[in-house]
Structure 1
Amino acid sequence: MTHNTPLSPRPLRRHSDVTRRVLTAAQLRAQGVTAAETNEQCRPGGSWQQILPGVFLLHPGPPTSEERLHAVLSYAARSPFRETSTGATGATGVAGVPAQPNADEPRPAATPRYADAVITGLAALTLHGFASAPPLPSLDTIDVLVPRLRRLRTMGCARIVRTPAVPTPSYVTGLPVAPVPRALADAVGELSDAATVRRLLTEAVRAGHTEPAAVIRELTEARLLNRPHVADAVESLLAEGRAVAEDHLYRMVREHALPDPVWNVDLRLPGGPHLGGLDAYWPEQAVAVELDTRAPRQEDDALWSEYARKREVLERLGITVVHVTPRKLRDSLEQQAAVVRTALMASCDRDPAAYVVVLPR
């Protein structure tokens, strides 16, 4: 047998998709391919190649980006999925290798193909559709999350990222991918260029991938906020988050036919103290809307106390304060419009509010 001799009549000669082009040693053994035969096929000039320890590419050419992703997951997965090797090719196309599910459908949690392995970092952001993330072919390594106690080393194109708990993945083209906030934190942890970090963080919010609070929670957990270039980028992230939330607020008023408020104002008592700033205010009805764009940091309790104090003072003066978050505006705009409309209509049944001075903020 020479290294060019095909392993016919084994069903491996049919590998029409990536799940049949990238196989582990265990999967090959389950189909009756011995280690000696695998080594023979992987000799120089052979038909196969070993792309990572225990992971084989069943063609001699360069791997595609999809093949690299599957190879990294195959290398990092807790254990190969169990083949059902029946000795015949049925609906799966290749005996013992289950067909890949619809790309838009998550795999059943009980039987994940790649147990305890999740793509993260820049590769995950690219899969999530980030325009500012590099294309997959340009990445020398692909980050993959595994449980902290796994005995795995970074090898070849697979960079192992250990974590106390592997997050529940999203599925993109059938691949387990870390949620955007976690993928961002893992990517930022490896980046030193301030402009790149800022672009990634602002795109996360501007393009609607996630909320600032979720990103900051992950950056805090990863202890990245003490890095000056990350802290600066977070300020841009928060500004972007507020701008997006304000756009949603403007759209809520316009699309749901609410009366026009005065925007971004400060309230004061005549000749008295400053009462606080508001994002929208209806003077005739004495109804205010305030956006909660707090970052989840240690001063949360103090900042929330300030929100609560201002609300209490305004409501004592007869002003109704509607408190909304960016997520509520993004996910339930119609419901938030109904809350504001109800507050405006109820103003007729309340005692008149105290006179206040409205100033531009």
Structure 2
Amino acid sequence: MRERSDLGVITASTLKSLGVANPWRRCEPGGPWQRMHPGVVLLHNGPPTRDQQVAAALLRAGPGAVLTGAEACRRHGLPASGTEIHVLVPGRAVGSGALITERASPMPPFADVDGFPAVSASRAVVDACRQLRSADAATALVAAAIQRGRCTPESLAAEARTNRYGTKLVRTVLKELGRAESVAERDARRLSRRIRLTTPHWNVTIADSDGLIIARPDAWFDDVGLAWEIDSKAFHYGVRDYERTLARNSRYAAAGILVVQTLPARLRDKPEAVARELRKAHAAAAARPRPLVRIVEPT
């Protein structure tokens, strides 16, 4: 029977065609199998793996079902929250438990992703955001998708326009992010506007007078030559990441650039303290000759 199953998951109708008249009797307490969904059986009684849960969900959803939402995001290598399994089907949609089934007409393009049929990363992110209530969680997912190259802002916006039902949150996030690349950068933009410092440039490349690249700060106050870096601890656990940060700061120092480094958690929890530091740094930068550096356009 296992050779006719998918990862040890099989439909009751297939079992009956193989001569098992009453498969549910073997799913009773103490039996060798277990019921995953109506009509779907797992051929052992231990905890199912995540792949077995996904296989059972697809069998329950029926022919043509494909993964979307948080599970598809994870298969695409994105850090989506949510334990539900969301699938799209070409016909009647019947869900159960943590399985969300949704009829799609026409069905979106899909491909084999990590062993299962799944929609594109852009569609998966938009559908995952439809299940979220937290703007921060949606921003983090959208930012990760863009940063990791799985999606572009344009592809996400196109999916949100095509599938507008329930997409207000993701459309708001895309509008608010603009060119921001993270939740922390969004918070930094808000703080910068609130304290009314010179409007900084965001994510621009800075070079010295000889044209040598110095860095690409999160925010750049060009009038006084001040850089603002939102440095997450998560990006400095590795030796190479730490070395890159030290090298970057050395280039700032050699060029005479003052730099403010802020942890995202501090920006979130103590914005007034960060605002004071940023104002003082801006004043200090303005009090000394501006370094001979400039913004360079990407080639």
User: What TM-score does the superposition give when structure 2 sets the normalisation length?
Assistant: 0.57
Out of 121, 124, 139, the position equivalent to 1:183 is 124
Corresponding position: 1:195 with 2:97: no
1:145 aligned counterpart, secondary structure: strand
Please name the residue that 1:127 is paired with: 75
The one-letter amino acid of 2:117's match is P
2:20 aligned counterpart, secondary structure: coil
Corresponding position: 1:23 with 2:4: no
1:153 aligned counterpart, secondary structure: coil
Structure 2 contact 130–166 (Cα < 8 Å) conserved: no
Structure 1 contact 198–237 (Cα < 8 Å) conserved: no
Residues of 2 paired with 1:168 and 1:117: CA distance?
12
When residues 40 and 225 of structure 1 are mapped into structure 2, their CA distance, relative to the original with a 3 A threshold, is: closer
Corresponding position: 1:52 with 2:28: no
Residues of 1 paired with 2:154 and 2:86: CA distance?
24
Structure possessing the higher radius of gyration over alpha carbons:
1
When residues 223 and 231 of structure 1 are mapped into structure 2, their CA distance, relative to the original with a 3 A threshold, is: same
Structure 1 contact 76–117 (Cα < 8 Å) conserved: yes
Alignment of 1:155-166 (within 5 A): 155-166=96-107
Corresponding position: 1:144 with 2:131: no
**More helix by proportion, 1 or 2?**
2
Structure 2 contact 138–169 (Cα < 8 Å) conserved: no
The one-letter amino acid of 1:69's match is V
When residues 122 and 228 of structure 1 are mapped into structure 2, their CA distance, relative to the original with a 3 A threshold, is: closer
Residues of 2 paired with 1:203 and 1:360: CA distance?
26
Structure 2 contact 9–41 (Cα < 8 Å) conserved: yes
Please name the residue that 1:307 is paired with: none
Alignment of 1:3-14 (within 5 A): 12=1
Summarize deviations over 1:62-90 as a string: whole Å, max 9, x none: 21111000000111122xxxxxxxxxxxx
When residues 204 and 223 of structure 1 are mapped into structure 2, their CA distance, relative to the original with a 3 A threshold, is: same
Residues of 2 paired with 1:40 and 1:53: CA distance?
14
Any stretches of 5+ residues in structure 1 without a counterpart? 1-11, 79-115, 251-259, 262-358
Summarize deviations over 1:192-229 as a string: whole Å, max 9, x none: 10101111111111100021111001112222697367
Summarize deviations over 1:279-335 as a string: whole Å, max 9, x none: xxxxxxxxxxxxxxxxxxxxxxxxxxxxxxxxxxxxxxxxxxxxxxxxxxxxxxxxx
Aligned length in residues: 194
When residues 57 and 237 of structure 1 are mapped into structure 2, their CA distance, relative to the original with a 3 A threshold, is: farther
The offset of 1:182, in angstroms, is: 0.7
- Structure 1 runs (4+) greater than 4 angstroms displaced: none
1:19 aligned counterpart, secondary structure: coil
The one-letter amino acid of 2:53's match is R
Residues of 2 paired with 1:233 and 1:175: CA distance?
28
Alignment of 1:1-361 (within 5 A): 12=1, 19-34=6-21, 36=22, 38-78=23-63, 116-131=64-79, 133-134=80-81, 139=83, 141-147=84-90, 150-223=91-164, 227=168, 230-236=171-177, 238-240=179-181
Residues of 2 paired with 1:18 and 1:207: CA distance?
35
Residues of 1 paired with 2:111 and 2:12: CA distance?
27
Residues of 2 paired with 1:172 and 1:58: CA distance?
24
Summarize deviations over 1:140-184 as a string: whole Å, max 9, x none: x2000112xx23322123111221122121212220011011111
The offset of 1:51, in angstroms, is: 0.6
Structure 1 contact 197–230 (Cα < 8 Å) conserved: no
2:132 aligned counterpart, secondary structure: coil
Structure 1 contact 225–231 (Cα < 8 Å) conserved: no
1:51 aligned counterpart, secondary structure: strand
Residues of 2 paired with 1:216 and 1:233: CA distance?
7
When residues 72 and 230 of structure 1 are mapped into structure 2, their CA distance, relative to the original with a 3 A threshold, is: same
Please name the residue that 1:279 is paired with: none
The one-letter amino acid of 2:68's match is T
The offset of 1:18, in angstroms, is: 7.2
